[in-house]
């Protein structure tokens, strides 16, 4: 098979997907992108669309028969399409199952029917639940899932690994911390900025603000993925992908308020978790991926400020949600 594309990016109109597309196209690769535009934004693909090496397909990955028909000849699939809302799992328990587990199964089946065998997958640090080992390494204790989101991603990882064993696939699975940067469209900075646009004198915070979390800048994330793809060749390659440090939600609020020059009243909902299934301490051990020669260039504070600056210049991203 001579592939028509080097990479197929699912969720290509999303935050990470569109940054990934731009990177790959800039690096000279031929890239096909699929997105159903349910949360992705065509605006994010504006530059890519002008490049002859990028081809966009609007399609829903939930329809396997259609997916098999449109699936291009490609060397590597980058499967980023997902329901990425960790917080609202219990409001619609079927969403994570359908958009993550079942869609990943469809991608694997479409790959199998097209003879495509390599997949990069965006998993999450949430698969560790509340790990007793922090920072948590890739081979930490067998986790107990605490969120429907984490449960769906661990189900995806299991499907991918068993396709590697059963059908000769090869996979690169990355367990992300929260990613920050340009085109960031959900998460705590997005929520805080939206609140402060509407009511600059008050800010509601879920939990007690002492939750400790780690964040990684999107370009560092892409560097980490592409470096690992280049340097590793096991059947199943699993890496934590995060910054080697963490901040409290309160630290994050401090950076945001200083940057925006605001002093709102802070209203905490209380408790050590922001929501049901929230993990009050996420900090991944990233020694394995760092041993490949990668390390992040942008720290958490800089990442938060870059994200804020993007949001300030692109308030249109809030429009449909306001």
Do 249 and 319 meet the contact criterion of CB atoms below 8 Å apart? no
Nearer to a copy of itself (CB atom), residue 142 or residue 316:
142
Nearer to a copy of itself (CB atom), residue 287 or residue 297:
287
Asked about 149 being catalytic, the answer comes back as yes
Do 79 and 14 meet the contact criterion of CB atoms below 8 Å apart? no
Instruction: State the Cα–Cα distance between residues 155 and 127, nearest whole angstrom.
Output: 9
Per rule CB under 8 A, is residue 185 in the interface with a copy of itself? Answer: no
Per the document, the length of the chain is 322
Interacting residue with a copy of itself among 26, 27, 92, 93 (CB under 8 A): 93
Do 11 and 35 meet the contact criterion of CB atoms below 8 Å apart? yes
Nearer to a copy of itself (CB atom), residue 162 or residue 202:
162
Count other Cβ atoms within 10 Å, centred on residue 57: 16
Cβ contacts of 222 within 8 Å, gap of 6 or more:
19, 20, 23
Per rule CB under 8 A, is residue 161 in the interface with a copy of itself? Answer: yes
Q: What angle do CA 219, 274, 220 make, to 5 degrees?
A: 10
Per rule CB under 8 A, is residue 129 in the interface with a copy of itself? Answer: yes
Give strand ranges (E) for 177-319. 178-180, 202-205, 212-213, 215-217, 236-241, 247-248, 265-268
Smallest gap, in angstroms, from Cβ of residue 167 to a copy of itself? Answer: 7
Q: What secondary structure does DSSP assign to 73-130, as a single string?
A: PEEEEEE--S---STTGGGSHHHHIIIIIIHHHHHHHHHHHHT--EEEEEEEGGGG-S
The residue range among 48-56, 132-140, 193-201, 242-250 that interacts with a copy of itself, by the rule CB under 8 A, is: 132-140
What part of residues 135-154 is at the interface with a copy of itself (CB under 8 A)? 138-148, 150-152, 154
Instruction: State the Cα–Cα distance between residues 170 and 167, nearest whole angstrom.
Output: 9
Interacting residue with a copy of itself among 11, 89, 224, 242 (CB under 8 A): 89
Catalytic residue among 149, 193, 215, 246: 149
Per rule CB under 8 A, is residue 97 in the interface with a copy of itself? Answer: yes
Instruction: State the Cα–Cα distance between residues 197 and 13, nearest whole angstrom.
Output: 25
Smallest gap, in angstroms, from Cβ of residue 77 to a copy of itself? Answer: 17
Both tokens assigned to 276: 């049901």
Nearer to a copy of itself (CB atom), residue 43 or residue 272:
272
Instruction: State the Cα–Cα distance between residues 274 and 170, nearest whole angstrom.
Output: 37
Nearer to a copy of itself (CB atom), residue 10 or residue 100:
100
Interacting residue with a copy of itself among 57, 226, 236, 257 (CB under 8 A): 236
The residue range among 99-107, 222-230, 263-271, 298-306 that interacts with a copy of itself, by the rule CB under 8 A, is: 99-107
Per rule CB under 8 A, is residue 285 in the interface with a copy of itself? Answer: no
Task: Count the site residues for a copy of itself by CB under 8 A.
Answer: 41
Active-site amino acid positions: 149
Q: Which residues bind a copy of itself (CB under 8 A)?
A: 89-90, 93-94, 97, 101-102, 105, 108-109, 128-129, 138-148, 150-152, 154-155, 157-159, 161-163, 165-167, 236, 238, 276-277
């Amino acid at each position: 098979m001579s592939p028509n594309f080097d990479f197929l990016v699912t969720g290509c109109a999303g935050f990470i997907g569109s940054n990934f597309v731009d990177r790959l196209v800039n690096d000279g690769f031929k890239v096909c992108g699929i997105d159903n535009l349910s949360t992705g934004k065509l605006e994010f693909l504006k530059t890519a669309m002008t490049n002859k090496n990028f081809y966009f397909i609007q399609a829903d990955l939930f329809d396997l028969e259609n997916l098999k028909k449109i699936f291009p000849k490609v060397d590597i699939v980058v499967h980023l399409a997902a329901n990425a809302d960790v917080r609202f799992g219990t409001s619609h328990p079927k969403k994570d199952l359908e958009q993550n587990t079942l869609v990943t199964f469809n991608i694997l089946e479409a790959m199998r029917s097209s003879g495509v065998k390599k997949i990069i997958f965006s998993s999450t640090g949430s698969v560790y639940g509340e790990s007793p080992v922090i920072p948590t390494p890739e081979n930490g204790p067998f986790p107990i899932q605490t969120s429907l989101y984490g449960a769906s991603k661990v189900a995806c990882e299991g499907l991918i690994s068993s396709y590697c064993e059963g059908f000769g696939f090869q996979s690169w699975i990355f367990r992300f911390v929260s990613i920050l940067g340009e085109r960031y469209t959900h998460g705590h900075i997005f929520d805080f900025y939206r609140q402060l646009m509407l009511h600059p004198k008050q800010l509601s915070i879920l939990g007690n603000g002492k939750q400790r979390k780690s964040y990684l800048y999107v370009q560092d994330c892409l560097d980490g993925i592409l470096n690992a793809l280049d340097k590793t060749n096991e059947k199943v390659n699993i890496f934590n992908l995060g910054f080697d440090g963490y901040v409290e939600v309160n630290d994050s609020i401090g950076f945001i308020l200083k940057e925006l020059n605001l002093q709102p009243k802070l209203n905490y909902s209380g408790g050590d978790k922001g929501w049901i299934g929230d993990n009050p301490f996420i900090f991944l051990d990233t020694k394995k991926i760092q041993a490949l020669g990668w390390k992040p260039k942008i720290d958490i504070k800089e990442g938060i400020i870059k994200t804020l600056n993007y949001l300030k210049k692109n308030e249109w991203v809030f429009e449909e949600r306001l």
